[in-house]
Structure 1
Amino acid sequence: MAERVDRPEYPTALGASSLEKITLLGHDLAKDVMGEVGFGELAFWLATQRRPGRGEVRVFEAVLAALADHGFTPTAIVTRLTYLSAPDSVQGALAAGLLGGGSRFLGVTEDTGRFLHDVLTSVDGLPADEDGWDALALETVRARRAAKRFVPGLGHHVHKQGDPRTPRLMEIATEEGLFGPHLSLFAAIGRVHPQVLGRTLPLNGAGVCGAALADLGLPLELLRGFALLARTAGLIGQLAEELRNPVGNDIFLSVDLNNRSVEPEPYTPEDRP
């Protein structure tokens, strides 16, 4: 008799396949999920392993829509240029764009959510009214100013008079009863920061998305992942447009034909920021 070999087990509540069917989150993929569950709802469900309510899906999908595309950002440009260089590698073009999701573009969603969460978990009890939120926000902005650090989610290089995504997402969250402490603190920062900074800056869309995702109880470690999920759809749109109306080569040539040779500037340790 052959000796029994113990094999390691790898438990998962996500996808699993057998000869007859595929299960996902404990449900029959073909019968219970396909055609029955929207992609946004499924993405939320996969991340939390709990099926979201209708209002949660609406807020979550509003976030995805807000982050999907924002014009010729660096992520869009590098996707188009990578496709120009390697049209045989759609995955490379998409990956190139997603890899640019950092502290200036897309990563602000995670940075803002984490920042707000850190503030909220550092206080004894949450404010009960708008005055209380304003007081907490004022203390928070003053502390960041004293530390010579930026407030994540505050300011936008284009929407200097106000990011149109911000009030709309706050409105949707309010309608669904999901305007929680992260959004409350973020809104208060928008009201009080001029007292500290001496100027008015908009609450940007990536920041409000981070606050909304945190209020949905989504893992803070995955907030950037949701931003990248949204931008993937946008980058597919950028590639689809590049196929129909290519501009990648024009972008490349505008740099290649207009470069100017200058004398080298040797780097020295004194050049460190």
Structure 2
Amino acid sequence: MSSEAVDPEISFPTSLGMSTSSTISLLGEDLATDLMGQVGLTELVYRMVTLRTPTPGQIRMLDACLLALADHGFTPTAIAARLTYLSAPDSVQGAMAAGLLGGGSRFLGVTEDCGQFLHATIEGLQEVATTAQEWDEVAREVVATARAERRIIPGLGHPVHKELDPRTPALVRIAHETDSYGPHLALFEAIGRVHPEFLGRTLVLNGAGVVGAALADLGLPMKLLRGFALFARAGGLLGQLAEEMRMPVARDAYMFVETHARFVDPNTLAQGGGDGD
């Protein structure tokens, strides 16, 4: 805290961190004596976001969700982080940021998209279903409407896991074990059961989509679901950068593209005649 005089008419309210010359408080508790060594990072983030203390089951469920999204190998986000580190090894923060900036509609974004899609559907129900059969009926309406409107249902299908996304049954099992299974997961599972009736083929329930459903069932803000995906991936990117230091591959990736670059005459790509000149 600054030693300068404080104008009592000006205030910036916060329920999070505060500091004095000898103390740090967070959520109204002493960081050093009340939180450090007593509270895990997963619980702390849940509390900071919701201002609620999670149950042990909710902590376990959220931790499982974060683990499910932490690292998937040489994804574009990991490659971006490694290439940025190659270019600026003095800027770990830049490499981390580069990887996180790649979390969008195709990678990581499905967590937010699926959670919000399911939440909007549930919010529109006059009565929340209570049995699997009732959820199947809701799911049939959801899939039929999406088909009629030519919309994609977020979280259906995976580019690699064509037969099974191994995260899906694990997350559903943990949700049941922790009493965290709620309407969002119930609806998403129902969509997984009924969609072949409309599509004529079976698509897997994407694990990242299941995470979105699980986060929604944990009562986390819909607008921050992608933030949790990025929080998880930050840990994975740190591991990717550590491996890049041990076993670098970024330079080989860069040189492979560089040596296989092929010039294309821009005149062959021109479309239309401009203004006719």
* TM more than 0.5: yes
Equivalent residue in structure 1 for 2:150, among 148, 151, 172:
148
Identity %: 59
**Cα distance, 1:163 vs structure 2:** 0.3
**Cα distance, 1:263 vs structure 2:** 2.4
Aligned positions of 1:230-269 closer than 5 A: 230-264=232-266, 265-267=269-271
Aligned positions of 1:136-175 closer than 5 A: 136-175=138-177
Deviates more, 1:181-190 or 1:254-263: 254-263
What is the aligned partner in structure 1 of residue 58 from structure 2? 56
The reply on whether 1:71 has 2:73 as its aligned counterpart is: yes
What is the aligned partner in structure 2 of residue 100 from structure 1? 102
| 1:184 alignment partner, SS class | helix
TM-score (norm 2): 0.94
- Distance in 2 between residues matched to 1:49 and 1:132, nearest whole Å: 33
- Distance in 2 between residues matched to 1:44 and 1:5, nearest whole Å: 33
Instruction: Name the amino acid aligned to 1:175.
Output: E
- Distance in 1 between residues matched to 2:270 and 2:209, nearest whole Å: 39
| 1:143 alignment partner, SS class | helix
Deviations 1:130-159 (A, max 9, x none): 111001111101111111111001110000
Instruction: Name the amino acid aligned to 1:110.
Output: E
What is the aligned partner in structure 1 of residue 3 from structure 2? none
What is the aligned partner in structure 1 of residue 123 from structure 2? 121
What is the aligned partner in structure 2 of residue 181 from structure 1? 183
How many pairs align? 266
The reply on whether 1:229 has 2:231 as its aligned counterpart is: yes
| 1:23 alignment partner, SS class | strand
What is the aligned partner in structure 1 of residue 34 from structure 2? 32
**Cα distance, 1:7 vs structure 2:** 3.5
The two structures, once aligned, show a CA RMSD in angstroms of 1.3
**Cα distance, 1:93 vs structure 2:** 0.6
TM-score (norm 1): 0.95
Flag structure 2 segments of 5+ consecutive residues without an equivalent: 1-5
**Cα distance, 1:10 vs structure 2:** 1.0
Instruction: Name the amino acid aligned to 1:18.
Output: T
- Distance in 1 between residues matched to 2:49 and 2:246, nearest whole Å: 35
Deviates more, 1:92-101 or 1:19-28: 19-28
What is the aligned partner in structure 2 of residue 83 from structure 1? 85
Deviations 1:52-83 (A, max 9, x none): 11000000000000000011110000000011
- Distance in 2 between residues matched to 1:219 and 1:266, nearest whole Å: 47
Distance 1:71 1:268, change over 3 A: farther
**Cα distance, 1:128 vs structure 2:** 2.0
**Cα distance, 1:267 vs structure 2:** 4.5
Detail structure 1 runs of 4+ shifted over 3 Å in the superposition. 4-7
Distance 1:195 1:94, change over 3 A: same
Distance 1:268 1:17, change over 3 A: farther
Deviations 1:205-263 (A, max 9, x none): 11000000000000001100000000000000000000000000111111110111222
**Cα distance, 1:6 vs structure 2:** 4.3
What is the aligned partner in structure 1 of residue 24 from structure 2? 22
Equivalent residue in structure 1 for 2:211, among 209, 212, 215:
209
- Distance in 1 between residues matched to 2:128 and 2:9, nearest whole Å: 50
- Distance in 2 between residues matched to 1:134 and 1:233, nearest whole Å: 37
**Cα distance, 1:20 vs structure 2:** 3.0
